[in-house]
Structure 1
Amino acid sequence: MILLVVNVILFCLYASICLCSSQGTINPPEKVSAVLAFGDSFLDPGNNDYITTPLKANFLPYGKDFMGGKPTGRFSNGKNIGDFFAEGLGVKEYLPAFLDPSLQENDLLTGVSFASGGSGYDPLTSTVSAAIPILDQLNLFKQYIGNLTRIVGEEAVTNIMKNSVSVVCSSTNDLVISLPARSVLIDVPTYDRMLVNLTLNFIQELYKLGARKIVVFSAPPTGCLPIERTLNGGILRMCDQKENEAAQLYNNMVKEQLPVLASSLPKSRIALVDFYNPLINIINNPQQYGFQVVNRGCCGTGLVEVSFLCNRLSPTCPDDTKYFFWDSFHLTEIGCNIFVNQTLPSLVNSLF
């Protein structure tokens, strides 16, 4: 049991578009005012650097391909998914961490990330990983709004919120950490239903705070994460199909319920990003995307290294552009870029 808990903590770093809208099609604005990110390590640019948690990435080789080879706390060799969304939406090249003490007023105007590696919708997830719970991320969002109001005033804040895009990615760690723990008492469908309710509740609270264009990530194929292959995939390290089925069930439930919620939120534009099928397609057809290795990470052996196990003493692969995964849990910079490039065109059409 102790070994299971340790394994859970190690890999909890955690991480096609379905339009769900209460309005008809509208023309895109000239500019997205800001990008606001909530959730887990796929969107965390370094908030975990400033809290007490073992789940950090502010040391090499993390960030070795980032600007100046600087490790910032992003769980990648370079930019993460949040950065590429902000860049693709024409806002800015990097999405900063809200907790970064060097954050400038101009940074607030165009958006920040509140995400924390190891977080999830399920409160148990953040308890185990010592991450910032997603509801606490809403409290940080309130602080952000207060700071922004002092800078530009209430009317300008209203306009910024109206033209901002909020990105939420937060179910991965729930399925990896909390589902196994809670499955002692409840079955997978029951847990997935609970997780969907928590997801919808978070979207409602985000809407109450002024968010109108909201992007919600589905769960990825957690059973195909390199560390999950190592722990649960047998001697051949195959994808854990039970984990993938749990992720697919959650995704189907969210896809069904999100339009119902959106219809009750006036002037909302809510899009569900498919985080599952694009990743499975890349994993099953790596050569089409220029990858050679998709079943292990670039850092160390690529089998179990993540967070503090991926460190200065860990060798890295000769060419990380040929690897889909950077460590045993997170995507390489090129992997993030390819995923966002696939996703963004349909997403823009959905939101605007």
Structure 2
Amino acid sequence: MGVVLAYTLAVALFCSFGNAQVTLVPAIITFGDSVVDVGNNDYIHTIFKANYPPYGRDFKNQEATGRFCNGKLATDITAENLGFTSYPPAYLSPQASGKNLLLGSNFASAGAGYDEHTSLLSHVIPLSQQLEYYKEYQGKLAKVAGSKKAASIIKDALYLVSAGSSDFIQNYYVNPFLNKAYTPDQYSSYLVSSFTSFVKSLYGLGARRIGVTSLPPLGCLPAARTIFGFHESGCVSRINTDAQQFNKKINSAATQLQKQLPDVKIVVFDVFKPLYDLVANPKKNGFTEATRGCCGTGTVETTSLLCNPKSYGTCTNASQYVFWDSVHPSQAANQILADSLIIQGISLIG
């Protein structure tokens, strides 16, 4: 974390609470896909799992928790930046009980999207079900904390939403029924409409501080280069253009929601630029490889079928790689993304 950012957060913590060990928000509640899933998919029947090596090899105790990374996710690092010493648990895990619920909870499911059909195709937890689990969580929280404290936690918690990548990479681009029926622009509009409905539902359940990630440069993901790049060198430009068009729409939708919903704060975190900068200029940021992931060949490995303990060619030092597998950033890249997120989201924790 940059010196200025670290100093700013330290001052905020000290001024607010003196020397007590505290957090800048009471809880973190997360919805979405594999970028933020901390293990919910471990408990459902799907091929989208990361609860086996080499996933988690640089995490605490070298534990494969279900995170699609060699170590920490950007949201884990964000939690640490906000003062948390442990992470809000995956809602379906045994850890999501008792006092652990006071930290918040994570409802994300790798493979989920704003399009319900994306989740159904991957046999994962759609956003609609994630919301239902959140309602359950509220009831459990009230029993643990009491209704008054629970209401305060719900109101002041930080809500994080990450979705959209699976809709394009695992559904739209490979689904002829979709890509023949809708242009990328039309599909983006459909997804943003779903995003708007989701945020309104979340708001109705008490959320007031909401951070949502933009799409990353999808055309720079190693899997996209392999599957859709053909003879194009570098990132797949048409896919990056689609991502940028989506990002414009979700920013516009967030602005409208901010006007429509009283007392809400919504920030769209720009993930596109910081990740694109890492891919375009890896050496500037201390990386040596940005075209393929560390796991196996690094070109197509994203699920248990391909990135596994027997994957041939897995790198020895993931910190030199921008990507861990063919879709997900390494912990080293997540550190840079998290530093960007905390700066962009300062209004959510003020």
Q: Tell me the TM-score normalized by structure 1.
A: 0.89
Deviation per residue, 1:86-111 (Å, 9 max, x gap): 11122334332111023341211011
Deviation, structure 1 residue 124: 1.2
Within 5 Å, which residues of 2 pair with 1:323-334?
323-334=321-332
Aligned to 1:197: 193
Aligned to 1:142: 135
Read off the aligned partner of 2:141 and give its amino acid letter: L
Aligned to 1:307: 303
Match of 1:244 among 219, 240, 245: 240
Within 5 Å, which residues of 2 pair with 1:160-309?
160-180=153-173, 181=175, 182-235=178-231, 238-308=234-304, 309=306
Structure 1 CA distance for aligned equivalents of residues 206 and 58 of structure 2:
35
Q: Does 1:320 align with 2:314?
A: no
The percentage of counterpart residues that share the same residue type is: 38
Structure 2 CA distance for aligned equivalents of residues 107 and 92 of structure 1:
12
Structure 1 CA distance for aligned equivalents of residues 231 and 88 of structure 2:
40
Gaps of 5+ in 1: 1-26
Deviation, structure 1 residue 351: 4.6
SS at match of 2:181: coil
Deviation, structure 1 residue 343: 2.1
Deviation per residue, 1:206-253 (Å, 9 max, x gap): 111111100011111111100111111124653111111111111001
Higher relative contact order (CA 8 A, sep 6+): 1
Gaps of 5+ in 2: 1-12, 18-23
Structure 1 CA distance for aligned equivalents of residues 84 and 265 of structure 2:
19
Match of 2:63 among 70, 73, 81: 70
Residues 120 and 29 (structure 1), Cα distance of their counterparts in 2 relative to 1, 3 Å cut? farther
Bigger mean CA deviation after superposition, 338-347 or 131-140? 338-347
Aligned to 2:34: 41
Within 5 Å, which residues of 2 pair with 1:32-111?
32-111=25-104
Read off the aligned partner of 1:36 and give its amino acid letter: I
Structure 2 CA distance for aligned equivalents of residues 178 and 194 of structure 1:
14
Deviation, structure 1 residue 350: 5.0
The answer to whether the 8 A contact 1:175-1:246 is kept is: no
Deviation per residue, 1:34-92 (Å, 9 max, x gap): 00110000100100000010110000000111111111111001111221121112233
Aligned to 1:23: none
Read off the aligned partner of 1:310 and give its amino acid letter: C
Structure 1 CA distance for aligned equivalents of residues 68 and 102 of structure 2:
25
Residues 284 and 127 (structure 1), Cα distance of their counterparts in 2 relative to 1, 3 Å cut? same
Q: Tell me the TM-score normalized by structure 2.
A: 0.90
Read off the aligned partner of 2:187 and give its amino acid letter: Y
Read off the aligned partner of 2:54 and give its amino acid letter: P
Structure 2 CA distance for aligned equivalents of residues 346 and 70 of structure 1:
30
Deviation per residue, 1:292-335 (Å, 9 max, x gap): 10110000111111221110112421211100100011111111
The answer to whether the 8 A contact 1:121-1:199 is kept is: yes
RMSD: 1.7
Aligned to 1:5: none
| Runs of 4+ in structure 1 over 3 Å off | 27-30
